[in-house]
Amino acid sequence: PRYFALIPAAGVGARMEATSPKQYLKIGGKPMLRHTLDAFLSSELIAHTFVVVSPDDPYIDAVAPHHGVTVLRCGGASRMESVRNGLAVLASTLSRADWVLVHDAARPGLTAELIEKLITGTGDHPAGGLLALPVVDTVKRCIDGEAAGTVPRNGLWLAQTPQMFRYELLREALAAATDPDSITDDASAVEALGLSPKLVEGHPRNLKVTLPDDIRIAEMYLAVSQP
Ligand code: C5P
User: Does residue 211's CB lie within 6 angstroms of at least one atom of ligand 1?
Assistant: no
Q: What is the rounded distance in angstroms from the CA atom of residue 24 to the CA atom of residue 217? A: 16
Higher pLDDT, 224 or 138: 138
Check: CATH 3.40.640.10 for 3-223? no
Do the bridges between strand 30-31 and strand 26-27 make them parallel or antiparallel, or are there none, so unpaired? antiparallel
Do the bridges between strand 157-166 and strand 129-134 make them parallel or antiparallel, or are there none, so unpaired? antiparallel
pLDDT tens, position by position, 163-219 = 999 999 999 999 999 887 778 899 999 999 999 999 999 999 999 999 989 999 999
Q: What is the ipTM of this complex?
A: 0.97
Q: From the CA of 25, how far away is ligand 1's center (Å)?
A: 14
For the chain, domain boundaries: 3-223
What average pLDDT does this structure show over 106-121? 97
pLDDT tens, position by position, 95-113 = 999 999 999 999 999 999 9
What average pLDDT does this structure show over 143-159? 96
Q: Yes or no: say if 181 and 189 are a contact pair by the CB < 8 Å rule.
A: no
The rounded mean pLDDT for the chain is 95
Can you give the three-state secondary structure of 1-39, one letter per residue?
A: CCEEEEEECCCCCHHHCCCCCHHHCEECCEEHHHHHHHH
Q: Write the residue with the smallest CA distance to atom 11 of ligand 1.
A: 11
pTM of the model: 0.96
**Band (155; pLDDT cuts 50, 70, 90):** very high
Q: From the CA of 205, how far away is ligand 1's center (Å)?
A: 19
Q: From the CA of 96, how far away is ligand 1's center (Å)?
A: 25
Distances (CA, A) of 148 to 135, 152, 155: 19, 13, 20
Neighbouring residues of 70: CB distance < 8 A, sequence distance ≥ 6: 48, 49, 50, 51
What average pLDDT does this structure show over 110-135? 98
The separation between the first and the last C-alpha atoms of the chain, rounded to the nearest angstrom, is 26
Q: What is the pLDDT of residue 161?
A: 98
**Band (226; pLDDT cuts 50, 70, 90):** low
